[in-house]
Structure formats: C-alpha cells, structure tokens
Amino acid sequence: MTGDESAWLDAAPWGITPRVADRLRATAAEVAREWGVPLSQRIVGGRFSFVAFAGDDAVLKVVPIEDDEADHEADALALLGGDGAVRLLRHDRARRAMLIERARPGDDASGLSEHEAIRVAVSAARKLWRPALSGDPFRWIGDLVPRWLDNAGDHYLVRQAKEIYATMHPSDATLVHGDFHHHNLLRHGDGWVVIDPKPMVGEPEFDVATLLWNPIGHVPTREGVEQWIGAFADAGLDANLLRKWAIVRGTYQGLPLSRGLTTETSPQLRVVRALL
C-alpha cells in the first residue's frame, strides 16, 4: 500500500482518511436500511471507524478492514455480555458492522480528577479482565508485540524495550481490552462501561499502560505514572510487570515519532523515560 492509499491520516486529527470514511458511510447506510434502524451523522469522536447514533438507544459502527486489531471487537463485546461493556445488539461479520447499545449519558472519563479516574478504571478493569482462550478467536499478545517493536524502528529506546521484553513471558489466559484508556470508558447509568476494545488474550498488566499517557492532552509525570501503577498494584497486579509493559508498549506506540513530536513531548515516551 502506498502512502497515497493509506487508510490513516498521518497528522492530527488522526483517524481514517475521507476516502475510507466515505466507503464506511456507504456500508453503514446499507446495513441500517437492512436492519431497519435510523442513521444519524457520523460522530466526530469516532475517528478510526464510522460511528453514528442509530436511534435513541443504539450506535451503528463499521470498522475498516485495514484495522486488523479490531477484527474481534464484536466477539469481545459478546463475551462480556453487557457486564462492564456496552452490549452488542447485532453483528454482520462480513461487513464489519455492529449495532451497539448506546451509553447514557455517555461522557467519558477524561473529565474526571485523576483520583476518580483511577477508581473508575480499576473498577471497570475487574469486570473486563476475564478468562479467554488464545485462538478462540482472540490473538495472543505474545504473537504481536515482537512485530510491533520491530516496526518501531532503530532507536535506543526500542533496543532497551526489546531487552526488557526478552525477560517477559506473557500469559495467554485473560481477555485484555487492548486500548484501555479514559476516552474508552463511558458513564452509563450509575456506572461505567468500556467501548472500542481491540481484544487479545494476555495478562491484565498489559492493559494498564495506555491509561498512563491519556487522556488526550495529558502530560505524564513520574509522580502520576507511579500513582496509577500503585493503584493497580494495590488491586492485585504485579507492579514490576506493570512497569515493564508501560516501557514496552510506550516504546512501540510512541515510535516512530509522529509529526511534530519529540522524545520529550511524546506522551508515550514521557512515560517510558519516567520509568527507565
């Protein structure tokens, strides 16, 4: 695939290109007609797929074929069964379309204080992390992380992350969200639910890293990183493993650097540097 054909914007606001958005919009309209649901305009916040309200109580989502990390999103929502996640109402696997319960009021955790965000995230994680089997249908993180590190390029942080990863032996027994952060935690009734899983099987410590450099605009500090790690360690996770995963995931998500960022300003690499 050439740069001109890429499905992804290479600068802010990120997400899918207009060409891909138009393709997914056409699919969404077709699916909505067949399922007999109304279709509103695309939700601006759904930058990496086509997402639109489908009436008062549902959301229609179409995921691009280029996003292989979302291949099993519907399977994860079905496994969770509305317990700690939005409920899957209908699914067309071939067209990568899902009708999903709408979270109400639907505000995300980015507006919470850090103390409250930590409390909400720990509580949500306890419902999310449950037994699952590799290949049934979820991929194992151990089959993916080495490739992601290779794709991060030749950088001293990548070399260090690879050395750290070589000491790790990831489990394959727990469903992990894959993109667990403030913007994927929505208020629903009196509680909170997760949305947009990029599901895999692994170990819970893998999932915490993305919380450390979110929400968008957050500037991570050593004190804040340690506060999050301490909270999840108090909840029963391995603090050393949390730090290792934050370094490994922060490295491959932060490199190569996005346009306009440096190793000092990249949120992911600020976390990595705070822990090394």
> What does the domain layout of the chain look like in residue ranges?
3-102, 108-275
Whole-prediction pTM:
0.94
Return the pLDDT at 14: 78
Return the pLDDT at 259: 83
Return the pLDDT at 44: 82
What is the distance between the alpha carbons of residues 97 and 199, in angstroms, rounded to a whole number?
16
Looking at the domain that runs over 3-102, which CATH code has it been given?
Answer: 3.30.200.20
Q: What is the pLDDT along the chain (276 residues), one digit of tens a residue?
A: 344 578 887 766 678 898 999 999 999 999 999 999 999 999 988 888 999 999 999 999 999 999 999 999 999 999 999 999 999 999 999 999 999 999 999 999 999 999 999 999 999 999 999 999 999 899 999 999 999 999 999 999 999 999 999 999 999 999 999 999 999 999 999 999 999 999 999 999 999 999 999 999 999 999 999 999 999 999 999 999 999 999 999 999 999 998 889 999 999 999 999 999
CA angle 215–216–218, rounded 5-degree value = 70
Return the pLDDT at 5: 73
Return the pLDDT at 172: 96
For the packed helices 267-275 and 239-254, what is the interaxial angle rounded to 10 degrees? 140
Q: What is the 3-state secondary structure (H, E, C) of 100-144?
A: EECCCEEEEHHHCCHHHHHHHHHHHHHHHCCECCECCCECEHHHC
Looking at the domain that runs over 108-275, which CATH code has it been given?
Answer: 3.90.1200.10
Q: Residue 157: which of 248, 274, 267 has the closest Cα? A: 248
Return the pLDDT at 1: 38
